[in-house]
A and B are shown apart, each in its own frame.
Chain A
């Protein structure tokens, strides 16, 4: 294995992990407020198609990101109306969002299936990108890759170093107490849900405008669900999301490993494609095995509907 090969593996791992980091951090904030939104897959899909369409028509990938974000916010607003205002079951509302979003993206995206988008030049950090092996992976990436790193710091800082973050966590741990000392539980949960939607939309935009760059029905391919699992894997801690995302990113490019390693083994392509899904199951088992890990780390009111007057 040459150094060039290792370098390109690292590069591809970071790229594959980026949408997972962004989406998982959005969901992490949502869950910290006590809301389980299973709609990430649908939100990402709609974000991806909206971003692709806008980037295609305007020729501006940055506007594409904004469109993906706006679409993500609108999608999560649907979830909020259902699960927060109308107090429907959060699991069912999230499933509805995923089913609706995947269908809607296929519907909107049909005319764009044969359209190609010009690939976007990466942002090279002067000098640093020339470091052998690590340079390209860390310093010659799309803007959203750098954004994902900033986001980890921002989310960690917000949750653990600001008053608003403390209130959000209080809402997630004990909405009744937060309500009784005067915090608007539903309002704070709405903000958390919309932030999660915005991030899922940006994650989708990264997929369609920068990663592939094209739109195909079903291209999100479970990444929204994997991002949800990542939050459990990270035991609701922002920094660990990054480790998990790159682990899964590595699984997603397993094909590249096999082709590049030069070893002639006869593994069906489908077995390699199944790796991230199998890894997700494995990781969930390893983390959940110890019941107290989950109980101590997951927000206490996660998934429970808050009734303002009950």
Chain B
């Protein structure tokens, strides 16, 4: 007797919702094992990593603060992923958005115009879109694989940030630290709850989830994107343009990542530095997959991903473990999700071993 995968007559809807939960459960379980292997008490480790970060209201506010850029990036990416447009360069688009939006604030330093902040956010979105337009153009015009080009542009974006903060944009009174001047109060996103760091960007994130939901479920363009992803030939037969899917997918991802970038700069960071993002653009891909590319799912998975980031900081502080343990958990989560997804299309059957 052995186990064998047998294709289901049609994909199981139930399993497609259960699979992320199974993946999270498996991640928790392997977390316990990981702490044991590292010579820590598993329960203590679990408590420090997953519970401590959100034990008080300040922690919960931080959770929403960190979830904001993740949900922004993920909802943008999900539009492209639905159409099999693989933009894996959200991290770079986030950085360029932060630079363009932050650059606007530095250029109009001292401005008290009420349009400054909205202008920065628009500039951030445009910056992210411009960076995403490069792989979109290269794909539609020259057939160049967008996976590789969008990723290469992440490294280039990091170097652009590094050059600006070490060179032309460095704060002259900043003791030679590689960072720009602090943004003025008028160029800073207002706080939602006094005494915490959670700011208006969260509203932008939730707004983006709503817009994303309407676009994917209520608009003809969104429908075309889904068809293009699920049945390429059917989409082509119906006359849906594949090039347009690439452009929409890439630009949506770029715009949202750009807004995420400027929200960090005009929010918790307050200036442009070399450390704008701890890999939010990459983690957002996991958020999008775990959230089943749906805005509601993305809302919850971005909170989970934010928890993994905070858990890493706690583990560093209280367990003496490197904070990169977050990324180990992130990677495990995606693997478990991909593995669990097999049950959407297949079921396990006991069969007699063939002679």
Residues of A that sit less than 8 Å from B by CB: 38, 42, 78, 81-82, 86-89, 91-93, 95-97, 99-104, 106-107, 110, 217, 221-222, 225, 228-229, 232, 268, 270-271, 273-274, 277-278, 280-281, 284-285, 288-289, 291, 294, 307, 309-310
Contact = CB atoms under 8 A, between A and B. Distances in A.
A96 B335 contact: yes
Given A86-B342, A274-B159, A281-B153, A291 B143 contact: yes
Nearest to A41: B151
Nearest to B151: A225
Interface in B320-350: 321-322, 324-328, 330-332, 334-335, 338-339, 341-342, 345-346
Which bracket fits the contact residues of B?
35 or more
17 contacts: A86-B338, A86-B341, A91-B86, A92-B338, A103-B328, A104-B327, A107-B322, A107-B324, A225-B148, A225-B152, A268-B163, A274-B160, A277-B153, A281-B152, A284-B144, A284-B145, A285-B138
Given A103-B328, A225-B148, A225-B152, A88 B162 contact: no
Given A280-B152, A281-B149, A110 B324 contact: yes
Contacts of B162: 270
A110 B156 contact: no
A268 B160 CA distance: 10
Contacts of A89: 338
Nearest to A110: B322
Residue picked from A78, A96, A110, most chain B C-beta under 10 Å: A96
A89 B342 CA distance: 10
Residue picked from B153, B155, B160, B341, most chain A C-beta under 10 Å: B155
Contacts of B283: 99
A291 B145 CA distance: 11
Given A99-B286, A103-B324, A307 B335 contact: no
B11 interface: no
A284 B5 contact: no
B198 interface: no
B106 interface: no
B289 interface: yes
A274 B159 CA distance: 7
Given A96-B338, A99-B282, 7 more contacts: A87-B342, A99-B331, A100-B335, A217-B324, A225-B152, A229-B148, A284-B144
B167 A268 contact: yes
Residue picked from A100, A232, A289, most chain B C-beta under 10 Å: A100
A93 to B, nearest CB: 6
B171 to A, nearest CB: 18
Nearest to A289: B142
A42 B328 CA distance: 11
Interface in B6-24: 6-7
B15 to A, nearest CB: 13
Nearest to A93: B338
Residue picked from B6, B152, B153, B324, most chain A C-beta under 10 Å: B152
A101 B145 CA distance: 23
Nearest to B135: A281
B25 interface: no
A87 B346 contact: yes
Contact of B6 (A87, A280, A288, A309): A309
A42 B282 CA distance: 13
Interface string B125-142: 000000000100010001
Interface in B259-295: 282-283, 285-286, 289
Contacts of B322: 106-107, 110
A278 B156 contact: yes
B88 interface: yes
Closest 10 A/B residue pairs (Cβ): A103-B327, A100-B331, A106-B324, A88-B338, A270-B163, A110-B322, A96-B334, A270-B159, A86-B342, A288-B144
Contacts of A273: 159
Contacts of B145: 232, 284, 288
B147 A91 contact: yes
A43 B196 CA distance: 40
Contact of A281 (B138, B167, B332): B138
Nearest to B168: A268
A104 B331 contact: yes
B331 to A, nearest CB: 3
A284 B328 contact: no
A280 B327 CA distance: 27
A102 B327 CA distance: 8
A10 B67 CA distance: 48
B78 to A, nearest CB: 13
B121 to A, nearest CB: 27
A300 B325 CA distance: 39
Nearest to B335: A96
A284 B327 contact: no
Given A217-B324, A274-B156, A99 B147 contact: no
B148 A104 contact: no
Given A95-B88, A228-B148, A103 B330 contact: yes
Contacts of B339: 81-82, 86, 88
A137 B231 CA distance: 52
Contacts of A81: 339
Nearest to B334: A96
Interface in B176-204: none
A301 B40 CA distance: 46
A88 B160 CA distance: 36
Given A88-B342, A103-B327, A307-B7, A285 B335 contact: no
Given A87-B342, A107-B325, A273-B159, A288 B142 contact: yes
